[in-house]
Amino acid sequence: MLCTDKRDREGIMRIGRICGLALQHMLAHVQPGISTLELDEIGATFLRQHRAISAPKKAYNFPSWTCISVNDEVAHGVPSHKRIVQAGDVVNIDVSAVLDGYWADTGATVLVPPAKPAHVALCQATINALHSAIASARAGVPVYEIGRTIEAHAKRGGYRVFRELGGHGVGRHIHEDPNVYNYFTRQVSDRLVNGLVLTVEPFFNLGRGRLYTAKDKWTLKSVDRSISAQYEHTIIIQDDKPILCTQVEGGH
């Protein structure tokens, strides 16, 4: 989507803030003993209170309001009353929603104490990659510079990225052009333009960086049961630094 006027920008910023606050609210409730379905219900209640609708539910008939992925689950995890958060777990929450025809998307990973040092380092590297990639995203820059930046951070830390997963255009739908790969490819040589709305979404993996779809036909899992981290923001491209639509105070 291209933000062409003040109304578009305000619409994206409004739903972006709601998604950011919903994510923050859910992350604050992650603790041993809570089920992922309870976490999803917390997010659903928050979104409803703000008149927002779950994007994956609306766009794809996803069975829950949010995606919650634990440990070897990489993305698109389906919340369940049977999946109970345990001490030491790595929990990723992805919140995307729509309000008044505008869509936004955000996500973050949280470590349930006691956290392993390798998991702490993984999350910090992924956050660093996110913010470095966002800083590189300016009007006139090729889309592939985002992937180049993310891949460089991954290699520096000895992590793998999933070639199937990355950022994307957003705004009028949950998934739009362009694809924003987490690795360098000249396949996306188009240049970023003022007003373009997209997500930056690095996934770093401790293992081989390969995944498969679980029996529920939604959840993506790492083939070697390795741990991943993901952080995501929706941004609006400008001539200088982009606008972070889903960033909220105290968030990632």
pLDDT given at position 188: 85
pLDDT given at position 159: 98
> Token pair for residue 142?
């090729």
Please check whether residue 91 is in contact with residue 110, taking contact to mean a CB–CB distance below 8 angstroms.
yes
**Nearest of 238, 22, 3 to residue 101 by alpha carbon:** 3
The domain in which residue 223 lies consists of: 6-244
Domain count, the chain: 1
**Nearest of 180, 193, 179 to residue 149 by alpha carbon:** 180
> Token pair for residue 184?
């360098």
DSSP state of 242: P
Please check whether residue 199 is in contact with residue 95, taking contact to mean a CB–CB distance below 8 angstroms.
no
pLDDT given at position 90: 98
pLDDT given at position 231: 98
CA distance 41 to 46: 9
**Nearest of 168, 191, 166, 196 to residue 181 by alpha carbon:** 166
CATH code, domain with 149: 3.90.230.10
164 assigned to some structural domain: yes
249 assigned to some structural domain: no
Q: Give, in degrees to the nearest 5, the angle at Cα 91 between 90 and 97.
A: 155
66 assigned to some structural domain: yes
Please tell me the pTM assigned to this model: 0.97
Per-residue pLDDT of the chain (252 residues; tens, 9 = 90+): 999 899 999 999 999 999 999 999 999 999 999 999 999 999 999 999 999 999 999 999 999 999 999 999 999 999 999 999 999 999 999 999 999 999 999 999 999 999 999 999 999 999 999 999 999 999 999 999 999 999 999 999 999 999 999 999 999 999 999 999 999 998 888 999 999 999 999 999 999 999 999 999 999 999 999 999 999 999 999 999 999 999 999 999
92 assigned to some structural domain: yes
252 assigned to some structural domain: no
- Amino acid type, 19: C
pLDDT given at position 187: 84
User: To 10 degrees, the CA torsion angle through 203, 210, 96, 201?
Assistant: 30
1 assigned to some structural domain: no
Contacts of 197 (CB under 8 A, 6+ apart): 1, 2, 3, 12, 169, 170, 171, 234, 235, 236, 237, 245
pLDDT given at position 243: 97
**Which tens digit of pLDDT belongs to each residue from 235-247?**
999 999 999 999 9
CA distance 11 to 185: 32
250 assigned to some structural domain: no
> Token pair for residue 111?
């470590």
Phi, psi of 146 (to 5 degrees): -65, -50
